[in-house]
Amino acid sequence: MTELSGGPTLVQERRVVTAIPGPKSQELMARKQASVAGGVGTVLPVFARRAGGGVLEDVDGNSFIDFGSGIAVTSVGNSAEAVVRRATEQLNDFTHTCAMVAPYEPYVQVCEELAALTPGDHAKKSALFNSGAEAVENAVKVARAHTGRQAVVVFDHGYHGRTNLTMALTSKNMPYKHSFGPFAPEVYRVPVAYPYRWLTGPENCAEEAAAQAIDQITKQIGADNVAAIIIEPVLGEGGFIVPAKGFLPRIQQFARDNGIVFVADEIQSGFCRTGQWFACEDEGLVPDLITTAKGIAGGLPLAAVTGRAEIMDSAHSGGLGGTYGGNPVACAAAIGSIETMRELDLPAKARRIEEIMKPRLEKIAEQSGVIGEVRGRGAMLAIELVKPGGKEPDPEATAALAKACHQQGLLVLTTGTYGNVVRFLPPLVIGEDLLNEGLDILEDALSGL
Ligand SMILES: *Cc1c(COP(=O)(O)O)cnc(C)c1O
């Protein structure tokens, strides 16, 4: 696995050689506390030295199995050969000209790849940005320019970023929005089909949730005031919620019938993560616009809005852009990352990860009594933790479980509106031995709760 790892000497193994955090990490943490704003939190209290393949090595020499991928970013690993090579070559040529001042080929190449890879065979165009939030903001700008309307519809448990507009689009108060208002106007939130927590049961969930959502849109906003409906095909920060089958097509059809731009936010679920290039392919959706970021460039900051050419062209010339958007080094990294995804068939690798992980998680769930549901697709899997005998969320047990895993050298992340979901987002290039070892640690940690 040398070609996928953080330099040829990064061994693909779990190794815990100090207490977690070790002394060097503790020293750095003291410096962080003195110089970095308190609002910038930390999941794992260790400082990274190298990372790649399926492991993250810290400054004390501990090596963690990585079930987080820097939040679904390093799907090709943290230092994939093609990403490093292409980014390095680009660094040697030039770091920046500003795409709005003097354009360069890698920007165009990324947009061509996005047109080829995203669902639908209609004419497509893209614009590139630096972060997911920026992509979502620009999708809203484009949809408003195209429709001449203002309202934006989002869903319960949705997450779209941390800028002012995207905070407004995001559902959860803590930690994303608390004390940061006032928020942007003309944002409306409607129900989503969350099968596990749908009051009348999962069987009715898709139909009832869609009916409620559509009723609220038509009665409270007016469909002809709505510029865009934005949804994550698999909801990430909301708890890896897979909307009940049938819900997304109903919503898309409603958008189409009413001239509303349907936006799939695939920033977390896109680029092979769920076992397909994009999660919306699962139900054959063809979004008008699709936002991508995270997995696109192997860890370099890049984001995109891709969509129907006639919609993307509705913003006036000079209306979209930014100093760094589509930086050439990030574009070169994206080309290397996409090349790696194709060559290693990473959608198939994501499906293989599901094949290994899901049955084991289900077996662990049967034995444990605190796992309400195992869900997700591909390498975007999660367990929802509840108090025994019911469905009451258990965020304390969830935090304790994550911490116990960290102590044993397994990096896991938590998520969810109720803080009671442990999510699994391994790099798609992780070795199967590490995957199985990670599951052993999880099982042990759960039984020790
Ligand atoms: C992470 C994320 C964003 C925001 O991306 P940033 O790069 O953090 O701004 C938006 N939407 C979804 C679905 C995300 O997961």
Whether residues 318 and 350 share a domain: the answer is no
Residue 335: inside a domain? yes
Whether 427 is in the pocket of ligand 1, judged by its Cβ within 6 Å, is no
Whether residues 377 and 318 share a domain: the answer is no
First to last CA, the chain: 35
Sheet with 303-308: list strands edge to edge.
Answer: 124-129, 303-308, 289-292, 261-265, 226-231, 151-155, 187-190
Neighbour-count burial of 278, counting CB atoms closer than 10 A to its CB (0-12 exposed, 13-18 middle, 19+ buried) = buried
Q: Render pLDDT for 46-105 as a digit per residue (tens, 0 to 9).
A: 999 999 999 999 999 999 999 999 999 999 999 999 999 999 999 999 999 999 999 999
Q: Which of 343, 372, 400 is the endpoint of a domain?
A: 343
Residue 73: inside a domain? no
pLDDT at 3: 45
The alpha-carbon radius of gyration of the chain (Å, integer) is: 21
Q: Render pLDDT for 257-312 as a digit per residue (tens, 0 to 9).
A: 999 999 999 999 999 999 999 999 999 999 999 999 999 999 999 999 999 999 99
Q: Which residues pair with 291 in a beta bridge?
A: 265, 305
Q: Render pLDDT for 209-256 as a digit per residue (tens, 0 to 9).
A: 999 999 999 999 999 999 999 999 999 999 999 999 999 999 999 999
The mean pLDDT of the chain is 97
Whether residues 360 and 235 share a domain: the answer is no
Indicate left, alpha or beta for 321 from its phi (over 0: left) and psi (-120 to 50: alpha): left
Whether residues 307 and 376 share a domain: the answer is no
Whether 365 is in the pocket of ligand 1, judged by its Cβ within 6 Å, is no
Whether residues 136 and 275 share a domain: the answer is yes
Q: How many domains does the chain have?
A: 2
Whether residues 291 and 361 share a domain: the answer is no
Whether 332 is in the pocket of ligand 1, judged by its Cβ within 6 Å, is no
Residue 77: inside a domain? no
DSSP annotation of 165 reads: H
Cα-to-centroid distance, 331 and ligand 1 (Å)? 18
Whether 159 is in the pocket of ligand 1, judged by its Cβ within 6 Å, is yes
Residue 71: inside a domain? no
Residues near 317 by beta carbon (within 8 Å), at least 6 away in sequence: none
Whether 129 is in the pocket of ligand 1, judged by its Cβ within 6 Å, is no
CA atoms within 13 A on the CB side of 100: 12
Give the number of the atom of ligand 1 that is nearest the alpha carbon of residue 72: 15
Nearest CA to ligand 1 atom 6: 132
Give the number of the atom of ligand 1 that is nearest the alpha carbon of residue 268: 15
What is the domain range of residue 243? 83-343
DSSP annotation of 235 reads: B
Whether 137 is in the pocket of ligand 1, judged by its Cβ within 6 Å, is no
Whether 133 is in the pocket of ligand 1, judged by its Cβ within 6 Å, is yes
Nearest CA to ligand 1 atom 8: 132
- Whether the per-residue pLDDT at 8 is higher than 70: the answer is no
Whether residues 339 and 359 share a domain: the answer is no
At 127, the pLDDT band (50, 70, 90 cuts) reads very high
Q: How far apart are CA 413 and CA 150, in angstroms?
A: 36
Query: 265: domain CATH number?
Result: 3.40.640.10
Give me the amino acid identity at 425.
L
Q: State the pTM of this model.
A: 0.97
Which residue of 138, 140, 155, 160 sits with most ligand 1 atoms within 8 Å of its CB, as the best mutation to test the pocket?
160
pLDDT at 73: 98
Cα-to-centroid distance, 136 and ligand 1 (Å)? 8
Whether residues 351 and 337 share a domain: the answer is no
Q: Which of 320, 343, 366 is the endpoint of a domain?
A: 343
Q: Which residues pair with 229 in a beta bridge?
A: 153, 262
DSSP 240-265: SB-PPTTHHHHHHHHHHHTTPEEEEE
Cα-to-centroid distance, 133 and ligand 1 (Å)? 6
Whether residues 311 and 257 share a domain: the answer is yes
234 closest CA partner among 64, 379, 26, 390: 379
Strands (E), 106-180: 124-129, 151-155
Query: 351: domain CATH number?
Result: 3.90.1150.10
Give the number of the atom of ligand 1 that is nearest the alpha carbon of residue 266: 13
Instruction: Please answer whether residues 334 and 110 qualify as being in contact, where contact means their C-beta atoms are separated by less than 8 angstroms.
Output: yes
- Whether the per-residue pLDDT at 7 is higher than 90: the answer is no
Instruction: Please answer whether residues 397 and 370 qualify as being in contact, where contact means their C-beta atoms are separated by less than 8 angstroms.
Output: yes
Q: How far apart are CA 277 and CA 295, in angstroms?
A: 11
Cα-to-centroid distance, 363 and ligand 1 (Å)? 32
278 closest CA partner among 48, 76, 116, 117: 117
Cα-to-centroid distance, 132 and ligand 1 (Å)? 4
Whether 136 is in the pocket of ligand 1, judged by its Cβ within 6 Å, is yes
Whether residues 102 and 59 share a domain: the answer is no
Neighbour-count burial of 258, counting CB atoms closer than 10 A to its CB (0-12 exposed, 13-18 middle, 19+ buried) = middle
Cα-to-centroid distance, 161 and ligand 1 (Å)? 5
What does the pLDDT average to over 390-394?
Answer: 97
DSSP annotation of 220 reads: I
H or E element that contains 375 = strand 371-377
242 closest CA partner among 173, 304, 177, 193: 193
Give the number of the atom of ligand 1 that is nearest the alpha carbon of residue 237: 15
Sheet with 421-424: list strands edge to edge.
Answer: 371-377, 380-385, 421-424, 413-415
445 closest CA partner among 427, 429, 422: 422
Whether 47 is in the pocket of ligand 1, judged by its Cβ within 6 Å, is no
At 4, the pLDDT band (50, 70, 90 cuts) reads very low
